[in-house]
């Protein structure tokens, strides 16, 4: 899949708290970007499609599917198509995104959409068979709290499948701005090891992680910046500059960006995509946590065991 004017080059490249994020600003940014989001977010669509393809390798027939951080609902609808007998729920924190998702859903009412935070979903305990989340984890303020919530809502042997962004994302833009001032102009992202450790610490079973580096190229730096704004993914760090950035500093950043120019005269922008798969343990199966191994049982499981003994 190619962006309208730009090329894509692919190659493989091998603290869980994210307090820098202004989550209210992130929610507002996605709300404002919602109506034009799909015109700019072709990369999110491409990565989400690759994540869906991984389900081909996994033998699962879920009854309840959650698209966590569903955005405009493109992949919620794809999940419903893949699993037509399943109940599919799309959750997002941005009202505008959900409004666009409901437009897609208008004629068939196949997907239920809810506005909620990913770490406070409002879903029932042990109610989800498959949790799909495409490029949403990077907007979590506390990854451990998020994974604890996901552990709560997953059924035994339930499958979690997600993508997020690693620290190699937009490294050229970050480096170019560092030559201009010491403000945070680019969002920060967690390392693949931190994400994997947080999964283990929250008690998920056998997490599998891998990463892919995608490099997009642009004819100008301004085209990159417009695309970031159009997809709602521009800078929402607390330490960002809150007033308008002066034209002189933007020119200086663009000049510094020339250090990364490719032989064809185009400007690269790197995206480090992290893929993760993990399973909810069975009732009673020991799991590794930060305090050692522990086993847990649902009330339903315990009651069932008592009946069998009688």
What was the pLDDT predicted at 85?
94
**160 neighbors 154 (Cβ within 8 angstroms):** yes
d(CA 115, CA 181) in angstroms, rounded, equals 37
Query: Residue 276: inside a domain, yes or no?
Result: yes
Query: Residue 98: inside a domain, yes or no?
Result: yes
d(CA 25, CA 110) in angstroms, rounded, equals 31
Query: Residue 176: inside a domain, yes or no?
Result: yes
d(CA 270, CA 294) in angstroms, rounded, equals 40
pLDDT at residue 6 is higher than 70: no
pLDDT digits (tens, 9 = 90+) for 276-303: 999 999 875 555 544 555 545 455 544 5
What was the pLDDT predicted at 2?
43
Query: Residue 118: inside a domain, yes or no?
Result: yes
CB atoms within 10 A of CB 143: 24
Percent of the chain with pLDDT over 90: 56
The CATH number assigned to the domain holding 220 equals 3.40.50.150
Of 84, 90, 74, the residue nearest 37 (C-alpha):
74
Percent of the chain with pLDDT over 70: 74
Query: Residue 131: inside a domain, yes or no?
Result: yes
pLDDT at residue 11 is higher than 60: no
CB atoms within 10 A of CB 265: 9
d(CA 5, CA 298) in angstroms, rounded, equals 53
pLDDT at residue 31 is higher than 80: no
The dihedral region occupied by 13, where left means phi > 0, alpha psi between -120 and 50, and beta the remainder, is: beta
Query: In which band, very low, low, confident or very high, does the pLDDT at 106 lie, cut at 50, 70 and 90?
Result: confident
The whole-model pTM stands at 0.81
Of 31, 33, 43, 28, the residue nearest 271 (C-alpha):
43
Whole domain around residue 133: which residue ranges? 8-284
Query: Residue 294: inside a domain, yes or no?
Result: no
pLDDT digits (tens, 9 = 90+) for 169-187: 999 999 999 999 888 778 8
What total of structural domains would you count in the chain? 1
Query: Residue 86: inside a domain, yes or no?
Result: yes
Query: Residue 142: inside a domain, yes or no?
Result: yes
For 19, the token pair is 């307090």
pLDDT digits (tens, 9 = 90+) for 47-104: 999 999 999 989 899 999 999 999 999 899 999 999 999 999 999 999 999 999 998 7
Name residues whose C-beta falls within 8 Å of residue 252's C-beta, 6 or more positions apart in sequence.
179, 180
What was the pLDDT predicted at 292?
52
pLDDT digits (tens, 9 = 90+) for 119-135: 999 999 999 999 999 99
pLDDT at residue 219 is higher than 90: yes
Q: Which range among 39-48, 141-150, 230-239, 296-305 has the greatest average pLDDT?
A: 141-150
For 150, the token pair is 């996901």
Of 293, 303, 294, 297, the residue nearest 283 (C-alpha):
297
Q: Which of 2-6, 20-24, 28-32, 254-258 is least confident?
A: 2-6
What is the average pLDDT across 226-248? 62
For 23, the token pair is 């989550």
pLDDT at residue 305 is higher than 80: no
**42 neighbors 8 (Cβ within 8 angstroms):** no
Name residues whose C-beta falls within 8 Å of residue 195's C-beta, 6 or more positions apart in sequence.
16, 137, 143, 164, 209, 274, 276
In the chain, where do the E strands start and end?
8-12, 64-68, 87-92, 111-115, 128-134, 154-165, 205-218, 267-279, 287-289, 292-294
**189 neighbors 272 (Cβ within 8 angstroms):** yes
Three-class SS state of 159: strand
Query: In which band, very low, low, confident or very high, does the pLDDT at 105 lie, cut at 50, 70 and 90?
Result: confident
**165 neighbors 272 (Cβ within 8 angstroms):** yes
CA angle at residue 42 from 93 to 119, to 5 degrees? 20
């Amino acid at each position: 899949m190619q962006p309208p004017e730009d090329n894509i080059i692919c190659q493989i490249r091998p603290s869980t708290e994210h307090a820098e994020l202004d989550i209210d600003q992130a929610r507002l940014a996605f709300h404002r970007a919602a109506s034009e989001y799909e015109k700019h977010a072709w990369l999110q669509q491409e990565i989400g499609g690759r994540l869906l393809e991984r389900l081909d390798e996994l033998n699962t027939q879920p009854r309840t599917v959650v698209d966590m951080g569903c955005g405009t609902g493109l992949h919620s609808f794809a999940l419903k198509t893949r699993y037509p007998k399943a109940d599919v729920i799309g959750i997002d924190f941005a009202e505008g995104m959900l409004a666009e998702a409901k437009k897609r859903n208008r004629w068939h009412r196949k997907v239920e959409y809810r506005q909620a935070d990913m770490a406070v979903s409002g879903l029932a305990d042990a109610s989800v068979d498959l949790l799909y989340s495409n490029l949403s984890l990077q907007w979590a303020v506390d990854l451990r709290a998020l994974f604890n919530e996901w552990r709560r809502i997953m059924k035994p042997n339930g499958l979690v499948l997600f993508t997020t962004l690693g620290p190699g994302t937009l490294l050229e833009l970050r480096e170019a701005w560092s030559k201009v001032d010491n403000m945070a102009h680019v969002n920060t992202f967690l390392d693949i090891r931190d994400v994997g450790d947080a999964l283990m610490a929250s008690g998920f079973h056998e997490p599998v992680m891998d990463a892919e580096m995608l490099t997009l190229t642009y004819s100008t730096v301004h085209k990159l910046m417009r695309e970031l704004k159009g997809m709602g993914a521009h800078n929402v760090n607390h330490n960002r500059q809150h007033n308008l950035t002066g034209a002189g500093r933007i020119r200086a950043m663009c000049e510094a960006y020339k250090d990364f120019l490719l032989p064809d005269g185009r400007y690269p922008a790197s995206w480090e995509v992290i893929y993760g798969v993990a399973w909810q343990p069975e009732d009673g199966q020991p799991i590794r946590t930060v305090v050692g191994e522990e086993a847990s049982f649902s009330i339903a499981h315990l009651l069932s065991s008592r009946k069998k003994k009688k």
